[in-house]
Structure 1
Amino acid sequence: MIPLNEKLIRLDVEVETAEEAIRRAGELLVAEGKVEERYIDAMVKGYEEVGPYIVLAPSIAIPHARPEHGALEQSVSLIRLKQPVVFGHPTNDPVQLVCAICGVDSSSHVGMLQQLASVLGDKSKLNGIMTAKNKEEILSIIK
């Protein structure tokens, strides 16, 4: 099951840049005690150094960092942007859904990616997330 709750979801978030989108998703994880503040910086640094590899599908980015960069508990945050933002991916830009993940070890990290991919890879579920009016709708789709 994807470790997500209402406090880890924000809808119609306004940002100007990819970095700002990553930081906003990370701030939810920090606020819920899932990661240390430095985890956000590690996610941004990964994006800056390696590029838009986190844009795993059209309009979807999944920023993350290594567990040793401050992951405290396995979790996911989800922000849907009011206006899509360019991350620099040649085919999957612009991004409108940012799901930051954190795992305490590599196996939990991979497991969460697989669970998230199964939900976001389902066109009807993804459409439901992109058009949901509130957090409850999103949780019912993901759970």
Structure 2
Amino acid sequence: MLQLNEKLISLDVEAESAEAAIRSAGALLVEENIVEERYVDAMVKGFQDIGPYIVLAPSIAIPHARPEHGVLQQSVSLVRLKIPVKFGHPTNDPVQLVCAISGIDSTSHIGMLQSLASVLGDKTKLEIILSSNNKEEIISIFN
């Protein structure tokens, strides 16, 4: 189950790079005391070390790190970029939607990815997420 609220959504964010986009999504989790700042650093480091493996579908990145890097609660944040950013993925760039997830153990992220995939894989729902300026409308899609 995905726990999403208005404070975990940021729309039309400006980011100059993939790292900045990841940090924006991570900052929402830090502000809500869901993860420690070092978790955001670990998400960025994972991207820098391994590459664009987090770009799981066209225009969608799902950054995450291991729970021991500072996860306090299981959650997800959603950042929609004003201008899509290249993450370096050969087929799914540029990214417009960054959904940072924080799993509390080594398997919880799998369920979160499945839940995200069921929503983001629905073209109608994805179009609403990419175009709506109503956070409540976006939240309702995930519930």
Common topology (TM > 0.5): yes
Count of aligned pairs: 143
User: What is residue 4 of structure 2 aligned with on the other side?
Assistant: 4
Residue 81 (structure 2) aligns with: 81
- SS of structure 2 residue aligned to 1:34: coil
Cα offset, 1:102, TM superposition? 0.3
Partner of 1:23: 23
1:71 paired residue number: 71
Residues 1-143 of structure 1 correspond to what in structure 2 (within 5 A)? 1-143=1-143
What is the root-mean-square deviation in Å for CA atoms of aligned residues? 0.6
Which 5+ residue runs of structure 1 have no aligned equivalent? none
- Post-superposition shift, 1:141? 1.2
Tell which deviates more after alignment, 102-111 or 56-65.
102-111
Separation (CA, whole Å) in 2 of partners of 1:10 and 1:133: 10
Tell me, yes or no, if the aligned pair for 1:60 and 1:92 is still in contact at 8 Å: yes
Moved >2 Å (runs of 4+)? none
List gaps (5 residues or longer) in structure 2.
none
The letter for the 2-side match of 1:93 is D
Contact kept? 1:59, 1:97, Cα under 8 Å: yes
Q: Matched residue of 2:128: which SS?
A: helix
TM-score normalised by structure 1 residue count: 0.98
